[in-house]
């Protein structure tokens, strides 16, 4: 027993001399995380990353059996019904994708309302927005891969969004589809995008984002910032916050396991491009707001004007959302701070209302 | 003909009961476990002369009184309403057999509610010994209400051979005690008592989280850690009592669990196994989080974490209760009544003379219309409501349209044939047998075929 302990200590010392583990541990012990009544929102970045790791793990397992192209539906059918535990891996992949999008949205809004985009965290905000856009593209490209009826028609509907862009819309659509219609070439393109191109962009952006979080630490919400330094509270990152973060990952894993096992992801009938689209077809929930907004503008302003106005409106909001750190630079009580908060509330309300409205119309 | 087949779209009547029951079970178990927590904690505080503990306990008793006295009581009545609507036959059987037991439970219930109110309103007004005695009156009377209701709940899974031998004879009262102290009575009583002790700790953590850990670090640490320890009995003993419970369940029901475990890989494992696994997973997570986040970091334990633990406890309770309910399938009262209200003793006569002919719930004009060769679709719908709708909905939970998607008329008839023959080795063994004459089953096939071929609007998610 003593010999084995001595050996493991020797291994640790050997590693420490080469990797400076003690230094790292000391750093982690000295690093602190603010503690206040809004601390709950600090966990959402970690939860988003946890679901991303699940995506990578289950995605690699699915790749072992998935065959992009003409056989894609058959291979997903085999994964779901023939291969042992295939249904669970696929279900976990699909559910964690949705949970990841949800977690990233919650993370973004919590950062917004805690004003964690202010100096010096502007690049954290922008890299976060890039990660959200990439996450949504992951979702969109992955949704087509089973090539069942829903995936096929929802992708067709989803591609109407870039198609409505003036000048470049048609070009983008042709490149993405690989032809005039969604087909097996599209699946191969989406697959390449999903498993190679997007991860190649996502991982460096994520590393940059995490480095910034590490560099600047967790931001204090305005209500805490106003307190004198002596009254501010914090806990050590290691082991206190670290163990809580892991506990939150465990909770996230529970949520995922409950959804994936009790509500396994379904596979619909094989897509038939010649068949009429089923009633009520629509894109995934995280594109519903944009989809509904474009529909509404098209309805209010018939013809091309509606589409263009819808896109202008949408682009304007996105632009304002992105440049908020350059506008709201002042103190908590400043006028610009209030304007930014109201802008955030409006955007959140718009997202929720148009999403519900969209589902109300199609279901 | 809607009543007695309560048609709840999308979620089905089962989930109406389920939602109310999960809410009620969490609160009612806390009502008993918390009933022990309060006098035991008060006794400790008195012995150690801790006025700061008394102040926290007083706050906790107010939270306790409101939660259990209002929400616990109201949701209990809600269960009565919902089971009466969803399962009138089963509810009637329970009332006819256990009306005396319920009367006793209500006596304890009245004592319990009164003692809870007296306990809270007499903090600082009664001398400490008398106040503590009121707390013990509450604890014991609330636990007695469990002792009674546990007999009725476990009866539904395992009514016992003696009661089954007299069921339907009019002489059921002679088997009251054996029905009450049925094969799963004792393991269930111990299991539920363990759950109550755990929930007492979890809800106490909720109150303790509100203590400012920076202003009163010692008090918060002590209370959080002391409350965390209430989860230890469950952690240690639950696996043993659970095994005892499982071995008290009839072999045929246990096979549902085994069938589920053996088919996990193929993804066809049963709902009961899924729910049981979720129950084990969430319970283990609760213990891990209570240890690492509450016990080890008591001073900074926050309300957010208390909520997280509580929500996990709700998930664990929901999964456990669902597993228990599913373990009973295809019965609502083991070996006596199927989950669609048809008694095992009625199957032969319903097959011979027809289900609708025998149904006491059919209006006379409906019966005459069917006998005169009325619409087969209408007859099919009546059979669907009577025999399928207690578990299935058209488009929502266990959607018939989704389950039958892609099946043609022949495939639907084949499926109904399997359900009608009710073969023991069938994968549908958790479903009641389909009863009725040949014409009625054809009418049901007509109705289901029509349902499947109607255009479906499918959501993306």
B378 in contact with A at a CB cutoff of 8 Å? no
Q: What is the mean pLDDT of residues A8-22?
A: 89
CATH number of this structure's domain A31-279: 1.20.810.10
ipTM of this model?
0.86
pLDDT grade for A277, boundaries at 50, 70 and 90: confident
Residue B289 Cα, gap to closest chain A Cα (Å) = 6
Alpha carbon distances (Å) from A263 to A91, A281, B158: 8, 21, 29
Examine the pLDDT at A1 and tell me if it is beyond 60.
no
pLDDT tens figures, A179-236 = 888 889 999 999 999 999 999 999 999 999 999 999 999 999 988 888 888 888 899 8
- pLDDT, residue B424, reads 61
Contact in structure between A100 and A136 (CB atoms under 8 Å): no
Reference B320, options B176, B185, B195; nearest CA is B195
Predicted model pTM: 0.88
Q: What is the mean pLDDT of residues A102-107?
A: 98
Examine the pLDDT at A47 and tell me if it is beyond 90.
yes
Cβ pairs bridging A and B (under 8 Å):
93
Cβ atoms < 10 Å from Cβ of B324 = 22
Contact in structure between A135 and A104 (CB atoms under 8 Å): yes
- pLDDT, residue B460, reads 32
Residue A329 Cα, gap to closest chain B Cα (Å) = 30
Would the CB atoms of B281 and A262 count as touching at under 8 Å?
Answer: no
Q: Which residues pair with B338 in a beta bridge?
A: B331
| Chain B, nearest residue to A257 by Cα | B278
Which one of B274, B289, B292 has the shortest CB-CB distance to A261?
A: B274
Task: For A159-194, give the DSSP string.
Answer: THHHHTSTTTHHHHHHHHHTSSS-SHHHHHHHHHII
Contact in structure between B134 and B126 (CB atoms under 8 Å): yes
Q: Which residues pair with A127 in a beta bridge?
A: none
Indicate the domain borders of chain A.
31-279, 282-363
Reference A172, options A185, A160, A187, A184; nearest CA is A160
- pLDDT, residue B461, reads 28
Contact in structure between B312 and B285 (CB atoms under 8 Å): yes
Considering only residues 179 to 208 of chain B, which have any Cβ-Cβ distance to chain A shorter than 8 Å?
Answer: none
Would the CB atoms of A150 and B458 count as touching at under 8 Å?
Answer: yes
Residue B302 Cα, gap to closest chain A Cα (Å) = 8
pLDDT tens figures, B383-434 = 998 899 888 998 888 889 888 988 889 999 999 998 998 766 666 778 999 9
Which one of A86, A246, A278 has the shortest CB-CB distance to B458?
A: A278
- pLDDT, residue B310, reads 96
Examine the pLDDT at A23 and tell me if it is beyond 60.
yes
Examine the pLDDT at A125 and tell me if it is beyond 90.
yes
Q: Average model confidence (pLDDT) for chain A?
A: 91
Chain A residues lying within 8 Å of B293, measured CB to CB = 243-244, 247
Residue B52 Cα, gap to closest chain A Cα (Å) = 24
- pLDDT, residue B270, reads 74
- pLDDT, residue A208, reads 98
Give the H/E segment covering residue B194: helix B185-208
pLDDT grade for A281, boundaries at 50, 70 and 90: confident
B266 in contact with A at a CB cutoff of 8 Å? yes
- Contact residues for B45 (Cβ-Cβ < 8 A; gap 6+): B53, B54, B57
Would the CB atoms of A251 and B457 count as touching at under 8 Å?
Answer: no
Would the CB atoms of A240 and B300 count as touching at under 8 Å?
Answer: yes
Which segments in chain B show pLDDT lower than 70? 1-5, 266-269, 371, 373-374, 423-427, 455-461
At residue B168, φ and ψ (nearest 5 deg) are 85, -5
Chain A residues lying within 8 Å of B455, measured CB to CB = 278-279
Bond before A204 cis per omega within 30 degrees: no
List strand residue ranges (DSSP E) for B305-377, in order. Answer: 331-333, 337-338
Examine the pLDDT at A109 and tell me if it is beyond 50.
yes
Chain B residues lying within 8 Å of A254, measured CB to CB = 281-282, 285, 312, 315
Cα B157 to Cα B155: distance, rounded to the nearest angstrom: 5
Would the CB atoms of A243 and B296 count as touching at under 8 Å?
Answer: yes
Residue A248 Cα, gap to closest chain B Cα (Å) = 9
Least confident of A129-143, A263-277, A343-357, B122-136: A263-277
Rama region for B8: left / alpha / beta (φ>0; ψ in -120 to 50; rest)? beta
Q: Which residues pair with A235 in a beta bridge?
A: A33
Place of tokens 């993306």: B460
- pLDDT, residue B457, reads 42
Q: What is the mean pLDDT of residues A249-267?
A: 93
């Amino acid at each position: 027993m003593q010999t084995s302990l001595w050996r493991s200590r020797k291994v640790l010392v050997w590693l420490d001399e080469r990797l400076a583990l003690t230094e790292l541990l000391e750093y982690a012990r000295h690093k602190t995380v603010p503690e206040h009544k809004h601390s709950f929102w600090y966990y959402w970045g970690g939860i988003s990353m946890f679901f991303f790791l699940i995506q990578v793990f289950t995605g690699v397992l699915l790749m072992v059996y998935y065959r992009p192209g003409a056989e894609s539906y058959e291979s997903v059918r085999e994964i779901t019904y023939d291969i042992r535990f295939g249904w669970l891996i696929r279900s976990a992949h699909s559910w964690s994708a949705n949970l990841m999008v949800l977690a990233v949205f919650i993370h973004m809004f919590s950062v917004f309302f805690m004003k964690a985009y202010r100096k010096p965290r502007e690049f954290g905000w922008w890299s976060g927005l890039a990660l959200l856009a990439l996450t949504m593209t992951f979702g969109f490209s992955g949704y087509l891969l089973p090539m069942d009826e829903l995936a096929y028609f929802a992708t067709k509907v989803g591609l109407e969004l870039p198609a409505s862009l003036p000048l470049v819309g048609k070009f983008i659509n042709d490149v993405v589809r690989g032809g005039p219609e969604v087909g097996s070439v599209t699946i191969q393109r989406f697959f390449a995008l999903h498993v190679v191109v997007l991860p190649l962009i996502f991982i460096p952006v994520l590393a940059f984002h995490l480095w910034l979080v590490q560099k600047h630490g967790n931001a204090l919400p305005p209500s805490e910032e106003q307190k004198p330094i002596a009254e501010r509270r914090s806990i050590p990152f290691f082991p206190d916050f670290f163990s809580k973060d892991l506990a939150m990952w465990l909770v996230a894993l529970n949520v995922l396991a409950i959804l994936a096992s009790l509500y396994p992801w379904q596979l619909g009938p094989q897509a038939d491009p010649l068949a009429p689209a089923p009633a009520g077809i629509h894109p995934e929930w995280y594109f519903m707001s944009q989809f509904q907004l474009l529909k509404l503008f098209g309805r209010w302003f018939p013809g091309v004007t509606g589409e263009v106005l819808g896109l202008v409106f949408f682009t304007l909001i996105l632009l304002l959302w992105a440049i908020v750190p350059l506008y709201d630079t002042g103190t908590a009580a400043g006028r610009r701070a209030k304007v930014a908060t109201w802008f955030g509330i409006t955007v959140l309300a718009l997202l929720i209302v148009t999403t519900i409205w969209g589902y109300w119309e199609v279901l | 003909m809607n009543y007695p087949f309560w048609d709840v779209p999308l979620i089905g009547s089962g989930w109406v009961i389920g939602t109310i029951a999960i809410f009620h079970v969490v609160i009612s178990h806390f009502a008993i476990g918390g009933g022990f927590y309060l006098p035991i904690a008060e006794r400790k505080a008195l012995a150690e002369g801790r006025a700061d503990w008394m102040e926290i306990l007083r706050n906790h008793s107010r939270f306790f009184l409101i939660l259990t006295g209002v929400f616990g009581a109201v949701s209990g009545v809600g269960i009565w309403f919902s089971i009466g609507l969803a399962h009138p036959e089963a509810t009637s059987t329970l009332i006819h057999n256990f009306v005396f037991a319920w009367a006793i439970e209500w006596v304890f219930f009245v004592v319990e509610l009164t003692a809870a109110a007296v306990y809270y309103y007499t903090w600082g007004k009664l001398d400490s010994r008398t106040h503590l005695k009121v707390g013990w009156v509450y604890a014991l009377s609330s636990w007695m209400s469990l002792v009674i209701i546990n007999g009725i709940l476990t009866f539904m899974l395992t009514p016992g051979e003696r009661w089954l031998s007299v069921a339907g004879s009019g002489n059921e009262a002679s088997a009251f005690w054996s029905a009450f102290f049925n094969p799963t009575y004792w393991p269930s009583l111990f299991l539920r008592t363990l759950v109550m002790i755990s929930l007492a700790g979890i809800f106490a953590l909720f109150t303790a989280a509100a203590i400012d850990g920076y202003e009163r670090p010692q008090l918060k640490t002590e209370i959080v850690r002391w409350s965390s320890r209430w989860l230890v009995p469950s952690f240690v003993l639950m696996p043993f009592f659970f095994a005892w419970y499982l071995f008290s369940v009839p072999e045929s029901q246990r096979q549902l669990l085994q069938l589920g475990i053996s088919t996990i890989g193929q993804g066809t494992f049963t709902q009961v196994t899924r729910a049981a696994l979720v129950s084990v997973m969430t319970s283990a997570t609760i213990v891990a989080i209570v240890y690492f986040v509450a016990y080890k970091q008591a001073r900074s334990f926050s309300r957010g974490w208390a909520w997280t633990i509580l929500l996990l406890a709700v998930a664990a309770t929901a999964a456990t209760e669902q597993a228990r309910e599913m373990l009973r399938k295809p019965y609502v009262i083991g070996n006596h009544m199927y989950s669609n209200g048809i008694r095992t003793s009625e199957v032969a006569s319903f097959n011979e003379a027809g289900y609708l002919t025998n149904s006491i719930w059919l209006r006379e004009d409906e019966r005459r219309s069917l006998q005169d060769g009325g619409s087969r679709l209408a007859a099919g719908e009546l059979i669907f409501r009577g025999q399928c709708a207690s578990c299935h909905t058209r488009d929502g939970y266990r959607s018939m349209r989704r389950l039958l998607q892609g099946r043609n008329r022949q495939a639907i008839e084949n499926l109904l044939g399997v359900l009608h023959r009710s073969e023991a080795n069938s994968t549908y063994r958790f479903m009641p047998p389909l009863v009725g004459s040949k014409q009625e089953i054809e009418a049901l096939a007509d109705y289901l075929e029509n349902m499947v071929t109607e255009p479906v609007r499918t959501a993306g998610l």
